Structures are given as C-alpha cells and as structure tokens.
Amino acid sequence: MIVRIPRAVGRVLVSAAAVLATGVACVGMAAPAQAATYVKGFDVSHYQGTINWASQYSKGARFAYMKATEGSSYRDPNFNTNYTNSYKAGFIRGAYHFARPNVSGGKAQADYFANHGGGWSADGKTLPPALDIEYNPYSGGTCYGKTHSGMVSWIKAFSNEIHARYNKYPMIYTTFDWWKTCTGNSSAFASTNPFWIAIYRSTPPTSIPAGTATWTMWQNADSGTFPGDQDKFNGSMTRLRALATNHD
C-alpha cells in the first residue's frame, strides 16, 4: 500500500506497577489498565515476491491481506498464489482493492474486485473484502478530483455493492488525515464498515473517522518481522474469527 503519513514518535509510559516496584508511594494513583489484546498480521502485494507462508505463521502472524485488484483493469499477478498458500498455512486472509475513484465508479470497481478475488464467505477463514482508499499516487490530485460529498458517494457505491453481493460490508483502509481531507471526516460509514487505520508509530490510533467506536485493524509499520506492511487486529483470535464468520 502506498501511504504518505508522518512517523510519530511514541512516548514511553511508566505503569503504576513499575512505580510500585521501586517502593515509591503512589497515593491516589489508579491501578494500571489491562494490556490490550492484539493479533499480529501483515499485508502484501506482488512487490514482496514469493512468500513462505508457513514460515510467517511460525513467527506469529495469524492474518494477512493481499492485493487483488486496482482500478478497473489491474490484477495483482501474485494474488492467487498468495491467497491459496496463506490459506493452506493456516492464515485467516482477505483481499484488498486499491481504489482509483477518477477512473471509474465505485460500483464498477467493486464488481471488478469481486470478480477477481474480492469475494467473501462466512467460513471463519476469510476477512471482509477491503477497500484501500488513500492518497492518489498518480495524476489527478490527492482526492482524485472529487469533493467531499463526491468521495463519500463513491465509497458508498463501492461499499453497498460489496454488501449487496455478500451481505458483508468491506473493511475501509485509510489514514485519518486523508479521510479528513477528502471526505470531510465523514461519519457515513461509522455504523456499517470496520476501519483499518494506517499510522506508523508504537501507540495505537487515537484519531479515527467520526462516529466510529474504535479501529478494527491498524497498519503500524511498513516493515518489520513479517513481509510487507505490519498490522494488528484490535482483539483476540476469537474476535478475529468472528469477523471472518458473521454476516453484517
């Protein structure tokens, strides 16, 4: 994925437990919050070349997204291999579509995606189809020449078509900065679509699309233990399987 976002410097937090361990009095200090539960994963395209999926599973990754399509004519040449081999290695996996809203309509791109790998079934192994909507790496402006309302309408057309075909709303991958810039921080998808937020830092996203309760996935680095971009699911394996099982 092509993401132009600044890297934030994480803050080092000292827990109450750590302070207590030093013997220093902590009158009035609240008990430390329970650590968040995350599942590790990653996302790839053909740029990562051949991937040893069994090896990545042994390193602790449990889910993966892989590029299937872009616009209304491009298919990632490694998608079929990645999709099949990740499944055989035990991954919960899903496909993503790189949006190009100035090339064709949202419905047309959703159909192209669905017809070339972007399907979904409630088998507990397939993540929601994902829409990668972000800074335009080509000509046509950051927001692909669309107004806030025009962009929201385009995303809505894509989302509704995926839902009509699979009774499952797509995951929306974006950065908060792009979402604010190009949709006006729309809350139109807060009650339907899970959000996959990209921000490269050590602490989870705190700025998320308006009305959204929390982020579902977080792309936290563009390199690391696993191939491609590094991701975290906001919850346990049980919740991840539920996302791959339940209809909307």
pLDDT of residue 30 exceeding 50, the answer is no
pLDDT of residue 148 exceeding 70, the answer is yes
CA–CA distance from 100 to each of 3, 69, 75, 97, 138 (Å)? 14, 11, 13, 9, 9
Q: Are 126 and 96 in contact (CB under 8 A)?
A: no
Segment 226-235 mean pLDDT: 98
| E strand or H helix that includes residue 208 | none
89 in the Ramachandran plot: left (φ > 0), alpha (ψ -120 to 50) or beta?
alpha
pLDDT of residue 33 exceeding 70, the answer is no
* Rg of the Cα atoms in the chain: 19
pLDDT of residue 72 exceeding 70, the answer is yes
| E strand or H helix that includes residue 198 | strand 195-198
pLDDT for res 1: 76
Side chain identity at residue 122, one-letter code: A
Q: Rounded to whole angstroms, how far apart are CA atoms 175 and 181?
A: 10
pLDDT for res 136: 95
pLDDT for res 29: 34
- Residue positions annotated with a catalytic role: 43, 132, 134
Q: What is the pLDDT of residues 81-116, one digit of tens each?
A: 999 999 999 999 999 999 999 999 999 999 999 999
pLDDT of residue 3 exceeding 80, the answer is no
Segment 186-193 mean pLDDT: 98
CATH classification for the domain delimited by 16-243, as one of 3.30.700.30, 3.20.20.70, 3.20.20.100, 3.20.20.80: 3.20.20.80
pLDDT for res 35: 60
Segment 21-49 mean pLDDT: 65
Angle at alpha carbon of residue 235, lines to 39 and 189, rounded to 5°: 115
Q: Rounded to whole angstroms, how far apart are CA atoms 135 and 1?
A: 10
Sign of the C-alpha dihedral computed for residues 211, 200, 172 and 180 taken in this order: positive
Look up residue 190 and give its two tokens. 């807060």
In 3D space, the residue among 240, 238, 198 whose CA is nearest the CA of residue 218 turns out to be 198
Angle between the N-to-C axes of helices 148-166 and 106-115, in degrees from 0 to 180, rounded to the nearest 10: 40
CA–CA distance from 109 to each of 98, 157, 158, 186 (Å)? 9, 9, 7, 21
User: What average pLDDT is seen over the chain?
Assistant: 89
- Torsions phi, psi for 43 (to 5 deg): -135, 145
Segment 199-226 mean pLDDT: 97
pLDDT of residue 80 exceeding 60, the answer is yes
